[in-house]
A and B are shown apart, each in its own frame.
Chain A
Amino acid sequence: MKGNVYAYIFVMAVTTYLIRVLPLTLIRKEISNVTIRSFLYYVPYVTLAVMTFPAILSATRSPVSGGVAFLAAIGLAWTGKSLFQVSVLSCGVVFLLELFL
């Protein structure tokens, strides 16, 4: 590689940190605009949903186990299982299923 590795790491770290920390430090009051408030209210759900599907299908060795884990996770969360339970049981589903795939 051409550049200095530590300089690369420094550039990456500073850029990433500024993006993350500026809104948190600069926005010091409650936003009263209903559209912006609603937008920020919906952001987490939309972004998590977008990140989950279809990415989960390619995370595992087979899209089938990923797909079943996806449905299992939704079902488990629907019945009110905790974060940890949903997560670990989904892993278990993939592990068991891939014994047969």
Chain B
Amino acid sequence: MEGTNRQIFVKGMRDGIPIGLGYFAVAFTLGIAAKNAGMTAWQATLTSLLLNASAGEYIGFTLIAANAGYLEVMVMEAVANARYLLMSCALSQKISIKTGLLHRLLLGFYVTDEIFGVSVSVPGMLRPLYSYGVIAVAAPGWALGTGLGVLLGNILPLRLSSALSVALYGMFAAVFVPPARENKVIAGLVLFSFGASFVFHRAGLFAGISSGSKIILLTVAISLAAAVLFPVTEKPEKGEAV
């Protein structure tokens, strides 16, 4: 990406606004789950500050409510968040090899679906400052939403929370649609992913699999098939992503 440090950071902050809005709405409902698990607003906010993972936190709150053992919590967290392992691998190829350890530790802390999504789709190499801009706006929305969800429960008008809940998906579309428009393989892949995901969610055969596991299973299977069928040979610097 091109620009001064300041421009890069501000660009990140701007892209962080829809993420923060979506986070706020989603975290609000997460806060209600935390409250049901017997957690205080502070504990729920702390969890969100440290985890930044919707499915992971939701499963965690559910397990806490069920008096689960620590080992079980650990295993379930690993399963629910396994997709971040893939995203982290992809991100490692998106940053300069000269990127220092501190940047890697910080970037790693905030590998979420959304922050990863916008970070990995910037043109050329990712400058960590861009991600920090996104995080500066989005992370407070997530933590604040969780805490307020515990405190205020169902006060946010249903109509408003319903509308806000699509913010994240709109953002996802803004990430995968433009490259799909330029690249037929990506377009086909996106359509195939919609279909496969739909079948997975509908078919009774997969009812026992958590949504986090479905995401990773589909991601690995489809991306791997695509990698074998349509290998990308050109250097990433010239392409749009990764």
Contact = CB atoms under 8 A, between A and B. Distances in A.
B6 interface: no
B86 interface: yes
User: Interface residue tally of chain A, by bracket?
Assistant: 35 or more
Which applies to chain A's interface (DSSP): helix, strand, loop or mixed?
A: helix
A51 B116 CA distance: 13
B19 to A, nearest CB: 8
Contact of A46 (B65, B109, B120, B222): B222
Which applies to chain B's interface (DSSP): helix, strand, loop or mixed?
A: helix
B163 A92 contact: yes
Contacts, number: 318
A89 B21 CA distance: 13
B156 interface: no
A73 B104 CA distance: 32
B219 A2 contact: no
Contacts of A52: 169, 172-173, 176, 194
Interface in A1-56: 1-3, 5-9, 11-13, 15-17, 19-25, 27-31, 34-56
Interface of A: 1-3, 5-9, 11-13, 15-17, 19-25, 27-31, 34-56, 59-61, 65-66, 69-70, 73-74, 76-78, 80-84, 86-95, 98-99
